[in-house]
Structure 1
Amino acid sequence: MRQRIRVVVQGRSSRRRPTLAHGLWGAAEVTVTLGVVVLLLVVHQLWWTNRQARQDAEHKVQAMEREWEAPAAGLPGPVESPPAPEPAAGGNEASESRDRPAAQHSAPRWDQAYAILRIPRLGVVAPVAQGIGKAGILDKGYVGHYPGTAQPGEAGNFAVAGHRNTHGEPFRHINRLRGGDEVQVETREGVYLYVIDASLAQTSSRDTGVIARVPRSLVKPSAGYGEPGYYLTLTTCTPEFSSKYRLVVWGKLRSMRPR
């Protein structure tokens, strides 16, 4: 009598289980890896770029201050500008602008840091460079001067831009500035004190009116000025971590003195 041997054949579901488990494990590893990469990118953008840019900007400020103090060691001194008279209370701004002596500046080279901008209320101290390029200026933690606009202390509009997030973010909190807050711009020739006067919370990135000689928004004509003067314009991106719109803060020159 022959003995029968039982043969057990596993079903398809049994064969699929190891493959499914391996697939899920592989997907989990990829997800974790991607998460780590994204986290490192965020840390790089939010921490490392700020740290590096702030250090570079601080070193540049110190280098300019040392250079400007060099005449004390017997080197040739800067060309001095006569001090500006204080605006008369209730006076006509247009007539004051014509009477105010013009500041004297040598034309800065492209990407050259040639001024220091200080905002005491925000604790901001940043170099100002000619141009608004990212790689050579803004990403280094500098404030960029819009080409074609006035220089510090000159009649017209001294207009500058700065990052609001990452790369030193010197203009991170300019939305906190209020009327009467001071902004000081220092160059080799002199020190120029501007006082915050108005702001525009949001406008188009193409609103060139805000940096015009007489600044006035083309998008919101009620925001801005109607007479020639000595203006300061600070611009940055808004909302935070976006470059869709622009935030604008304006000031007027109160006084200037030679170095």
Structure 2
Amino acid sequence: MRARRGQRVPVVVQGRGRRRTGARVLWVAAETVVTCGVLVLLLVVHQLWWTNQEALAEARDQVRVLERQWEAPAPVPGAVPGGPSPSVPRPEPGRPTGAGTAPEPAPAGSPDTARPGSAGAFAVLRIPRLGLAVPVAHGVSKRSVLDRGFVGHYPGTAAPGRTGNFALAGHRNTHGEPFRYVNRLVKGDEIAVRTRDATYTYRVDRILPRTAPRDVGVIRAVPRSLVQPSYGYTAPGAYLTLTTCTPEFSSAYRLVVWAKLVSTG
């Protein structure tokens, strides 16, 4: 059929709407990918930098708190600040002094006698080669100890300076990473553990570069690897054990450093 003169014939163009819709989809997808990338980057920054700053600040503050407490004179039981000194009661006639009146104090340097700070820390670990000064707290809980930048004392292991194995754990990466560079320690390096009662100096003796996380033999009273029996000891002594993850940014294995007590001051 022919169109009449002066009458317009409509022309239908197909495909433009589809092209616009496809472009919008691609644009939204690209924005989503960029947003996800930014979020992942922020998460990495938070884990690798911000958690370190928070944990380092708390750990350093706790070291200062502990050392201020230790340097202050011990309070006298019953004493009132600014008041007279309490009188010392005289023993009753016929009653033996000290016998059955109070339990015997725990051995000096044991965790029971340590006066923890606000976060439960009871000692300060110093490693001069690494420039490290970090608080030591009871337990190896990530949330309450390790993730706060502290070093954790394995439950059931010896107290500092005592016969047995004073075993510690710390993060290699993130959350203060106190044991980031323990792989740089060599035989003969000194490690100091200070409590309210004394400072115990250990000397690095042996290093186990890699073992399985399940290798509980490394923290026993006489430490010896169950995975690699050639590493460890056969005789009792006063040992210090440092454990951390290896390689860096992985928890596949454990790095172990053993030291022996050389002096108490």
TM-score surpassing 0.5? yes
Contact 1:103 1:154 in 2 (8 A): no
Deviations 1:150-193 (A, max 9, x none): 11100011100001111100000101110111110000110000
- Classify 1:109/1:193 alpha carbon distance in 2 versus 1 (closer, same or farther; 3 Å): closer
Query: Is 1:229 paired with 2:234?
Result: no
Q: Specify the SS of the correspondent of 2:204.
A: strand
- What one-letter code is carried by the residue in structure 2 that aligns with 1:29? E
2:41 matched to which residue of 1? Answer: 39
Contact 1:54 1:167 in 2 (8 A): yes
Q: Aligned partners of 1:201 and 1:139: how far apart in 2? A: 23
Q: Specify the SS of the correspondent of 1:148.
A: coil
Q: Aligned partners of 1:65 and 1:177: how far apart in 2? A: 25
- Classify 1:130/1:59 alpha carbon distance in 2 versus 1 (closer, same or farther; 3 Å): same
**Which of residues 126, 129, 132 in structure 1 aligns to 2:134?**
126
- What one-letter code is carried by the residue in structure 2 that aligns with 1:188? R
**Which of residues 152, 165, 185 in structure 2 aligns to 1:157?**
165
Structure 1: gaps of 5 or more residues: 77-101
Q: Spell out structure 1 runs of 4+ moving beyond 4 A.
A: 108-111
Q: Aligned partners of 1:19 and 1:106: how far apart in 2? A: 69
Query: Is 1:66 paired with 2:71?
Result: no
Q: Aligned partners of 2:44 and 2:69: how far apart in 1? A: 37
How far is 1:103 from its partner? 5.2
Query: Is 1:105 paired with 2:110?
Result: yes
2:86 matched to which residue of 1? Answer: none
Q: Aligned partners of 1:53 and 1:176: how far apart in 2? A: 22
Aligned residues between the structures: 230
Q: Specify the SS of the correspondent of 1:63.
A: helix
- What one-letter code is carried by the residue in structure 2 that aligns with 1:128? V
Deviations 1:77-110 (A, max 9, x none): xxxxxxxxxxxxxxxxxxxxxxxxx854252699
Query: Is 1:29 paired with 2:34?
Result: no
CA-based RMSD of the aligned residues comes to 1.9
2:124 matched to which residue of 1? Answer: 116
Deviations 1:112-158 (A, max 9, x none): 20000001101110000010001111111100000100111000111
**Which of residues 154, 163, 169 in structure 1 aligns to 2:177?**
169
Q: Aligned partners of 2:17 and 2:42: how far apart in 1? A: 39
Structure 2: gaps of 5 or more residues: 77-106
Contact 2:115 2:196 in 1 (8 A): no
Structure with larger Rg? 2
Q: Aligned partners of 1:104 and 1:144: how far apart in 2? A: 16
- What one-letter code is carried by the residue in structure 2 that aligns with 1:52? E
